[in-house]
Structure 1
Amino acid sequence: MGKSPDKLAEYNARRDFGQTDEPEGRAGAARAGGLSFVVQKHAASRLHYDFRLEWDGTLLSWAVTKGPSPDPGEKRLAVRTEDHPLDYGDFEGTIPKGQYGGGTVMLWDRGTWEHGGDVAAGLEKGKLKFTLQGERMKGGWALVRMRGGEKRENWLLIKERDDYAQDDADALTKGHDRSVKTGRDMDAIAQGEKGRDVPKDTTDRKGTRPKFRKPQLATLVDAAPEGDDWIHETKFDGYRCLAALGKGGTRLLTRSGKDWTDRFAALEDAFDPLPCDSALIDGEVMAARVSGSAFSSLQKALSNGDPLVFFAFDLLALDGESVMNLPQLERRERLAELMSGVPRDGPLRLSEHVVGHGPEVFEKACEAGGEGIISKRADAPYRGTRTRNWRKVKCTKRQEFVIGGYSPSEKDRPFASLLLGTWDDDVLRYRGRVGTGFDERSFERLEQAFTARKTTPFADVPKAVARDARWLRPELVAEVDFTEFTSDGQIRHGSYLGLRDDKKAKDVTMEKPQDAKVAGIKISSPDREVFPGAGCTKRDIACHYDRVGERMIEAAGHRPLSLLRCPDGIDGDCFFQKHPGKGWPDALEEIEIEEKDGKSDQYLYATRAKALVAAAQMGAIEFHIWGARTDRLERPDRMVFDLDPDEGLDWNDVRGAAFDMRDRLTDLGLASVPMVTGGKGVHVCLHLRRSHGWDVVKGFAKTLAHVIAEAEPDRYTATMSKAKRKRRIFIDWLRNERGQTAIAPYSLRARPGAPVAVPVTWEELKKLDAPNGFTMGDMRERLEDPCPWLEAGDDLQTLTQDTVARLEKWSADSQG
């Protein structure tokens, strides 16, 4: 860039100082040392960061389009602009619209710089190396001029590899959004709000400020541990934060090491009373005033500059000495001693804890509307990783998700719902949508943060969702509260709480407890995936049977069982088991039954929901039941016709067959109830008075099946032979024989998607799209309504002599 003898001539020519508050250009005295640098965040026609180095009485200037990056692999475009006067290094305000560079200017960083050689030669050659000692930018940097004949002089601003380098390319710009001079954000500056002087060093501490250490993380579990070797604390719903105290002031660091001192400016003086030269304190930042959700309140407090509170709960270092290897309780005692002179209701507070009584503490926390508790082993050291020495127990389900897109809105709002996901290795898995919890401010913030992309970032999105979706770069992390995961791994009834600027999107994975107790039954390997692709685990199966257990026992309990077990998931080896084996859980009952050969053997049956969960712990997925109860095994109380379609027949064929069977039974004076099996077919079932033995019930079912098949041989067959089933529906009457079983109501099926066998009404059957449309996620809502199966059981059917005679006449007529 060519320069005139007056280095500031171009600067002055571009500005009308009668209109703008920018300082008039006058060259200052050249200095060899103590050189200043500034960075000004500038919302002109396009947001950028103006990087300025003092040299030879002026400020050399570059416009960095995306702002400085601490990642050495990220090269940021820096366009050389006109030199600025030294006085410009203190400018913050708004340049009027219509003036050159019109827009808001924030003093974003300031400090000193040292050059690594001949600056004039470096500028001439196009390579300038230097060291910055700013409040935000630190360590080695370089400016390298790009080759080419563009009118503008393009350079690259590059971070050198040193202790200040970071992997997060946007850690500096995303982590700092307030002025180092006045503490104001861009909106406050634009609106002319009064700022405050932000001191560069608020204390006279002499110790070296400790470096960032990775914080210890808690493992999610289902139940609080018992015993006095554990302490229990409130689980805060805020931002995890490490406070590093020492010479140069206090720095507040996020869990990933980002410097958020300016974002937490309300805590500026909070640590001043602590009597130490240096310290590293672990804690959580919360809003001082909570209204509604604690996390949403924190988001509003940060946006409005409202008061904050730092809840300290651990001490990692004190006056140059690491205390991480000390036991948990001893570290707590040292922290309490350090904070003994701090006001209890001030911005810095000591988190309270309880020794022992974990389950009771958790119950009280949930009753009070808390998020949960953190349980910590009292004798454990501090480790910068996720361990089981710290365990978190949640009252509600909530976690972070990556935003990968949104569904457009037909109303007057920017979007209808966010499309969410979590990382599974290098694949972003779709986890559902959230369409509630937004206010005007969150809509505005999200819309500004979105970065569009053309293709989906997810590996698997339902077609109905993808059809109208708008895709985004998977960079933003949202905190979401929800009721449960559905069987296909998607959230149900989600509510948006806010953005998590303190967490990297790449670190967001599915969070599930690592140990589990369901209905008092310990579930081993609870996170083992049983239904690949559906995100359904062994724990999910146990929870399903706990949820439907009471109704399932009422409908199918007290009957000999045949269990389909798949210990390694549905893609592994599966087998049926009806006899108890070694180590079989006591929750399942046993009964001795005489078999066809005259010998007797022990059979399993269930009388309570806990037994179903115990079977799930043993790898059981499906429950198949006899047609008689254990108190009168020779008197069946149920008849079932399993309508099993051949390949090539569709759902309409099966549904039509079910209504045909209903009508035939109605003509015989018998009422029936349908059940979609979760497979391909439908069961048409009758609840019987226990007035006949197996031979009568089996004979009646066999005769009726053959009568229907003979009447419409192109549609039906009553013979099991594969050859005779081609393009027909097999009316399976064999389920009505002694010792034979049929799938139980509300049982899962070991099929892709984890479908559930569900009784329905005849009216409901007309509207269903498939026999496998119900999943575990539908059961909570399903259980709120009456059960068609149980209602049908209130009207027991009788195979009277007249009924049998009419059927025999049908049979004779069909053969005659």
Structure 2
Amino acid sequence: MAGLGAYLDKRDFGATPEPSADGTPSRLGLRYSMQNHDATRLHWDLRLEWDGVLLSWAVTRGPSLDPAEKRLAVRTEDHPLSYLTFEGQIPKGHYGAGTVMLWDLGWWQPLDPAARGLAKGHLKFRLHGQRMTGDWNLIRMKGKASEAKRENWLLVKIDDEAAHQRDPVALYKTSVSSRRSFAAIKADKPAALKDHPGTRPRHQPVQLATLTEDLADAATHWHELKLDGYRAQVALGAGAPRIFTRAGHDWTDRFADLLPALRGVPCKSALLDGEVVAGAGLQGFGTLQEAIKAGGPFRYVAFDLLHRDGQDLTALPLAARRKALERLFRPLPPMGALTLSPIIHGAADEALAMICGAGGEGVIAKRTDAPYRGGRSRDWLKIKCRRQGEFRIVGWQKSTSRGRPFASLALAKQRDDGLVYVGKVGTGFDDETMADLARRMAPLARKTPPVDAPRREVAGVTWIEPELVAKVDYAETTAQGRLRHAVFLDLRSVTPRPRQAPPPSAEQDRPNFAGISISSGNRVIFDKPRLTKEGLAEYYLAAAPLMLPHLANRPLSLLRLPEGMTGERFFQKHPGKGFPDALKVQDIEDAEGAATPYAYVTDAAGIIGAVQMGTVEFHIWGARRDRLDRPDRVVFDLDPDEGLSFAATRRAALDLRDRLADLGLASWAMLSGGKGIHIIVPLRRTAGWDTVKLFSKGVAMWVAGSQPERFTAEMSKAKRKGRIFIDWLRNERGATAIAPFSVRARPGAPVACPISWDELPRIRKASAFSTRQALARGWADVVPPPPQGLTAPVIEALDRALSSGS
């Protein structure tokens, strides 16, 4: 059915107003429309742009937002792209005679490969229309085609945020573009566009955020996603909607794609604050620039409401303005062209890590009780993601400033197929660094560029051999592959120019660490930052001297991810067949006297042997194998509720340190690499497991009892709401805790890192340290105290505290 032959054969373009021209494919995305067709039978025609045509289905009863409803969709002939916005009257006696209304318009996004889905008969896609949004299935029905070769499909809504809304067939009775009814279209009469009747508010100075490095306190602020678009105020009222930039310039014409959706906002007048971003699943500022050139698609993400129906809301606290904004947007289609900025309630550290890991901009922290004030203040804080990379210096731009040897450096990224130009870096240099770079670049000059680059971007560049490698901090990469807001950090290394390496011999195929051969070394374990199995082995080899004093000769539990973060994961206490000999085994009797093998390590080879078997995390017992009945550490794991900030966990760790000191016990701290902090008390091996478990439970109950609004000693999720669980259960025989300097199987490959008490107040998240940063720190200023005993005075002090409730 591919091509337009059937469409052209069925129509007399001398009589029908339907378009005969092919139309132009979209530059940015795949367009979609749905036309309500009042022909022999009323139906809805679904059009999806694909391979230069509009794939078409006649949906007999119209789309349903109920996932339990399956609507028949009959595949019809492909239509030209120019048909996408057709609206008009097809004369009687001609194919498809009747009235065609443009019922919805927008963009669509395949969720699985579209060509494969069409061939298999199951197309899964997302609609970004003005009325139809969310995820959908088109499923071809089995069975023989009829004599007319009719191909029957089912259109089914996927259960998501856009499902279970009001019936769109009953709700929308006019054109999405002209706002005309069937009768007006048939009579070829224009419809007066109904705009908001109230007085349109004026643009006002926008509130701006102050750049900072620390997340805000969740008790006074919430965090929102920092968007990568154009800040814009939208004024609704008498006349058409108007869209103003941050500086007050009228850019309504550039974002005209949003006007139909803005006309549907149910109010007399309003002034919205938000951001225009590239829509239909597109992302990034570079893509937004392309969308502006193409006229869309756009999405408006609103985060504040300054006026509504003649009332000035700016004096109200943010929380109240947000509630008013949510009420205003409630009738609009979810996941549509107009959406609300999502709020991150509670601790935002993990959310920020995920946002940065996914290539996002960062977050904005907003004080919930503050009014709206134009200008920059600390009521709104901006915490930006930054990225770092290593790039080859391929040239330099002459400076016009006296005494400055160059203005910027031209950079390229080393790829498998050669160098790729990524732009320039012109900041981050001090005088000494610039002089050193100029001295190093002078003998490397060459006449021709070592990399392909647009002439207008590199006019005046002096080219050099690509032997110098710069470490650069940057905000993001544009759609053209250029670094944005790049800052030079240091000269990372001086390397010989890249040459073709000889093919490896059979003995070189597998990397070897501490005598352990690593198979599948190029398997990616973590995507961002990219860390392969070989890279993980390199880290653990370097970290072995830091880990072994606390890891060696303890029974282990290993968290294995044989296929990386995207595959299966499981804990393994008992090593099976195939484990390297360097990962040693000891039989340990359980409560019934049965002997079970446990893994332990004594050297770097044992650690690497575990990595070879897919291990990412190392969890240790609280006792060593020579005295399994005598623990040598007490661990308190501070596990915060999801709604709490890391600042609250920091304060809790310092408070627990002081409580332990009151009992006469010194402790040290470790960031878990996840959400919490571990407080560790080294013990002399004089007490058994029952005593240690009872003591740790007593401490947890004492702290929780004295401040029940902050802490709980109970594991229940319900009891943990808004509190920090003091996990004392790691202090029993067979329980484990994450080992110092173990990588965590979490986005970003964070490390469980020891931290000094003096440094802790400056740390903003429990996953603060990457593998590289952890190795650079080592044990830093952390000096674990010597082993201490659970002596009679310690126990008596705890008994008194529990009895008094102090």
Same fold (TM over 0.5): no
Question: Which has the larger Rg?
Answer: 1
Q: So what's the TM-score if we normalise by structure 2? A: 0.43
Q: So what's the TM-score if we normalise by structure 1? A: 0.42
